[in-house]
Amino acid sequence: MARTAKLKPWVGRTDESMPGIHVLLRLYAKQNGLCACGCGRTMNFERDKIDCDHIVPLRDGGENVEANLQLLLQEHHKVKTVAENVARGKERQHKAKAFTALRKPSFQSRGFPKPTEKYSAARGAMRTLGDER
Ligand SMILES: [Zn+2]
């Protein structure tokens, strides 16, 4: 017999709210039991440590709702978290650089060309002419 009951997608009351087991099982079914990172591995509740992950992290503006949740093998979740933190660090670095660029030119000035012998002589002549005026 097919289940026809349509449950409303879970919405966390607060960012700290944890989805219940029925939500996790629904996610598990939606993912066909596969880790959501794309590794193609089947997750086994008995054998594996499984994490419930926010697809878009809460600190990046993601919502604590079922549509933003996925199940990952814990070891793969850790990799994702590290990648997110690296990306966040790069973003910060990028912003810091952009801020610095506002204050000083991003290129190093080569300065004025060193006067060549001929150039100095011409300048000397100009100065002389100026002095005579
Ligand atoms: Zn995986």
**38 phi, psi to nearest 5 deg:** 100, 5
Whole-number average pLDDT of the chain: 84
Q: Tokens representing 127?
A: 């100065």
Give the domain extent around 55: 10-102
Average pLDDT over residues 65-86: 96
Beta carbons of 44 and 34 less than 8 angstroms apart: no
Number of structural domains found in the chain: 1
pLDDT for 95 equals 84
Predicted TM-score (pTM) above 0.95 = no
Question: What distance in angstroms lies between residue 77's CA and the mean position of ligand 1's atoms?
Answer: 8
CATH number at residue 74: 1.10.30
Report the separation in Å between the CA atom of 37 and the middle of ligand 1, taken as the mean of its atom positions: 4
Grouping H, G, I as helix, E, B as strand and the rest as coil, residue 75 is: helix
Question: What is the distance in A from the centroid of ligand 1 to the CA of 13?
Answer: 28
Establish if 4 belongs to a structural domain: no
What 3-state DSSP class applies to 130? Answer: helix
Residue in this structure with the two tokens 């066909």, named with its chain if needed: 32
